Amino acid sequence: LKDSGVDFSVTMVGEAAIDSDIRYLSSLKLKIKSLKIEQNFSFIGKVEHRNLPRYYQSHDIFVHLSKTGSLDKVILEAMACGMPVVITIFGGQIDYVNINNGWLISGELKEVEHEVQYEGIRWLQPSLQELKATLRHIYENKHEIEIKGNKALETAKKMTWDESGKKVIELI
């Protein structure tokens, strides 16, 4: 983006929880420094829950490329703030994120390495080429942000305990 003259900012909220996350964060900061794009990145750290909407709403999109396939509530929080999301097509979030309210990134399933507790487990390695192409598409089609953001908010409003209960009862 920088090489193309695109002005952008990335805000990372939260703190690394486990050793591998801490190592990843450190390597990410080194990469950002080597690319000379530090001015485009803000590492906020831990934020009180009540202050999160301010961070969600201060940007155009929310990017969450989960490798694990877990259902991550931050995706729903962003959607509840009217933000379209960029996610991987892996895990629980694909039950509610689709091409109408976000952008989906594919990838390759790879066995987890260097983590004994995940031996034999495969996680999705997102396609960086697809991510780059998607971000370029979003930049060139900014009108989609509002449309998908509105759809994201509509989707999030339907994600209630009552609706979940109805789905469980239907399954029983």
Q: What is the pLDDT of residues 28-53, one digit of tens each?
A: 999 999 999 999 999 999 999 999 99
Provide the token pair at 152: 């994201």
Cβ-based burial of 74 (10 A; exposed 0-12, middle 13-18, buried ≥19): middle
pLDDT tens digits, residue range 67-110? 776 678 899 999 999 999 999 988 888 889 999 999 999 999 88
Residue 106, amino acid: S
- Is the distance from CB of 63 to CB of 80 less than 8 angstroms? no
Q: Cα dihedral sign for 62, 1, 17, 127?
A: positive
In the predicted structure, residue 163 carries a pLDDT above the cut 90? no
Highest mean pLDDT pick, 17-26, 125-134, 144-153, 159-168: 144-153
Q: What whole-number distance in Å separates Cα of residue 25 and Cα of residue 15?
A: 9
C-alpha triplet 50, 94, 157: angle, nearest 5°? 45
pLDDT on residue 69: 64
pLDDT on residue 17: 82
The CB-side HSE value for 94 (13 A sphere, CA atoms) comes to 11
Mean pLDDT, the chain, whole residue set: 89
Q: What whole-number distance in Å separates Cα of residue 77 and Cα of residue 74?
A: 5
Residue 144, amino acid: E
pLDDT on residue 4: 74
pTM for the full predicted model: 0.84
In the predicted structure, residue 149 carries a pLDDT above the cut 90? yes
Average pLDDT of 14-32?
Answer: 89
In the predicted structure, residue 132 carries a pLDDT above the cut 70? yes
